[in-house]
Structure 1
Amino acid sequence: MFKKLLASVGIGAAKVDTILETEHLHPGQKFQAQIVVLGGDVEQEISGLELALMTKVKVEGENGEYYASQVIEKWRVGSQFTIAPGEKKVIPFEARLHSETPITEINAPYNHSYVWLETGLDIDLALDPSDKDLLHIYPNEAVKNCLLAMEKLGFRMVKADVERGYLKASNFQSVSGCYQEIEYRPASTSLFGLQEVELSFVPEAHRTHVLIELDRAFRGDGYVDLTIEHDHVNLSQLCDQLERLFA
């Protein structure tokens, strides 16, 4: 009985570990994993498993800015089962990353973009033991070429972070509840009259939308946008498109 009580508050309880086939992924990419559940000191009823795709978001609060963890997407895995003391169960799992998963692998001096998978056991009357697996998220070809175009136009990346909220333009809007901002500043003084440019990407299956915030010295902030078709990614054309938008 004493061991059962301890297990009910998470002491000597079952543990979970998610083993990913690879931690290096792109937004919208399928991934495979094995969820390993190891029994504790006593037999336990497991109500189910949950996997959550998580990120850290910047939130505007009454007392200023702060960072909080946010769920991008959540998956329920399997149904109720019993695990015996010391028993090992391996559950295969496959899913697709949300297309709006923030990019972590970018060359920003101040990169506050983090993405991870969190796995938890839903155990009745128990604390929720969890396992966290950090992910390395790379840009798709459209985003990669857009970032290269910014460099070619004389801008340097200075910061990247993820904010809570939604993006909306005339022909697209985000759905994940958070969005990434990648901040650029001109390498030379007053390039196109711009002090700062912030890019946010909303990828879809066959195209990537880009919302661009422009901060000009004498005209304040403004927004422009463009859409990059995945089968027509061209660095030179992107440079021309951005140059026209900035002019």
Structure 2
Amino acid sequence: MFKKILASVGIGAAKVDTVLETEHLHPGQKFQAQIHVTGGSTAQDISGLQLALMTRVKVEGDDGSYFVNHIIEKWRIAEQFTIAPGETRIVPFEARLHSETPITELSGGLNQTHIWIETGLDIDLALDPSDRDFLHIYPNDAVKTCMQAMDKLGFALVKADVEKGFLRASNFHSVSGCYQELEYRPRSRSMFGIQEVELSFVPEPHRTHVLIELDRAFRGDGYVDLTIEHDQVNLSQLCDQLERLFA
């Protein structure tokens, strides 16, 4: 009985460890993992497993901005079993990353984007033991080419973070409850009077939408958007499109 009481407050309790096939992924990509559950000092009933795709989001408050954890997507494995002391049980898992998963692998600038998968156990009368696995998220071809176009047009990436909220334009909107902002500034005086450009992406299976916030010296802030079809990604054409939107 004493061991069961200790396990109920997380002492000597079962542990969970998620082993990913790879931590290097793209938004919307399928991934596989093995969830290792190891028994503690006493037998425990496992009611299920929960996994969550997590990030840190910036929230604007009355006293300034601050960061909180945000669930982009969550999954539940309704597998019930009893884990014996010292026993290890392996549960296979497969899922697809949310298409709006922010990008972590960026070159240059202050990168405040972090993505991880958190795994927890449902244990009767117990605290949730959990495991955190950080991911490396790479841009799709459309996003990568858009970033190359910004570089070619003379803009440097200075900061990337994830904001709490939703994006909305005339023909698309986001659904994950957060969005990434890539902040660019001109390397030299901009011919368009642009002081800052912020890009946010809403990928779909066959296209990627881009919401662009422009901060101009004389006209203030404004929004424009474009859609990149995945079978028509072209650096030269994208440079021309962006130049027309910035003018």
TM-score, normalised with respect to structure 2: 0.99
Report the counterpart of residue 154 of structure 1 in structure 2.
154
Q: Distance in 2 between matches of 1:72 and 1:191?
A: 39
Q: Deviations over 1:52-84 (max 9, x none)?
A: 000000001121100001000000013221111
* Matching of residues 226-241 of structure 1 within 5 Å: 226-241=226-241
* Matching of residues 134-153 of structure 1 within 5 Å: 134-153=134-153
Q: Deviations over 1:172-193 (max 9, x none)?
A: 0000000000000001113311
TM-score, normalised with respect to structure 1: 0.99
Q: Distance in 1 between matches of 2:24 and 2:70?
A: 20
Which amino acid letter does the alignment assign opposite residue 48 of structure 2?
G
Q: Distance in 2 between matches of 1:95 and 1:160?
A: 26
Report the counterpart of residue 47 of structure 1 in structure 2.
47
Q: Distance in 2 between matches of 1:95 and 1:192?
A: 44
Q: Deviations over 1:61-117 (max 9, x none)?
A: 121100001000000013221111111100000000000000000013200000000
Which amino acid letter does the alignment assign opposite residue 110 of structure 2?
Y
Report the counterpart of residue 17 of structure 1 in structure 2.
17
* Preserved CA contact (<8 Å) 1:43 1:84: yes
Report the counterpart of residue 204 of structure 2 in structure 1.
204
Which amino acid letter does the alignment assign opposite residue 168 of structure 1?
R
Report the counterpart of residue 90 of structure 2 in structure 1.
90
* Preserved CA contact (<8 Å) 1:45 1:81: yes
Which amino acid letter does the alignment assign opposite residue 55 of structure 2?
T
Q: Which moves more between the two structures, 196-205 or 121-130?
A: 121-130
Report the counterpart of residue 168 of structure 1 in structure 2.
168
* Matching of residues 68-87 of structure 1 within 5 Å: 68-87=68-87
Does residue 28 of structure 2 align to residue 28 of structure 1?
yes
Tell me which stretches of 4 or more aligned residues in structure 1 moved more than 3 Å: none
* Secondary structure of 1:90 counterpart: strand
* Preserved CA contact (<8 Å) 1:34 1:93: yes
Q: CA deviation at 1:5?
A: 0.3
Give structure 1 stretches of 5+ with no counterpart.
none
Q: Distance in 2 between matches of 1:212 and 1:191?
A: 18
Q: Distance in 2 between matches of 1:193 and 1:109?
A: 22
Q: CA deviation at 1:47?
A: 1.0
What is the percent sequence identity of the aligned residues? 78
Give structure 2 stretches of 5+ with no counterpart.
none
Q: CA deviation at 1:164?
A: 0.2
Q: Distance in 1 between matches of 2:62 and 2:188?
A: 36
Which amino acid letter does the alignment assign opposite residue 196 of structure 2?
E
* Secondary structure of 1:242 counterpart: helix
Q: Deviations over 1:100-153 (max 9, x none)?
A: 000000013200000000000011111111000000000000000000000000
Report the counterpart of residue 65 of structure 1 in structure 2.
65
Report the counterpart of residue 123 of structure 1 in structure 2.
123
Q: Distance in 2 between matches of 1:156 and 1:136?
A: 22
* Secondary structure of 1:191 counterpart: coil
Report the counterpart of residue 5 of structure 2 in structure 1.
5
Q: Which moves more between the two structures, 60-69 or 156-165?
A: 60-69
Q: Distance in 2 between matches of 1:67 and 1:96?
A: 26
* Preserved CA contact (<8 Å) 1:108 1:160: no
Q: CA deviation at 1:13?
A: 0.3
Q: Which moves more between the two structures, 95-104 or 117-126?
A: 117-126
Q: Distance in 2 between matches of 1:108 and 1:176?
A: 26
Report the counterpart of residue 182 of structure 1 in structure 2.
182
Q: Distance in 2 between matches of 1:230 and 1:186?
A: 27
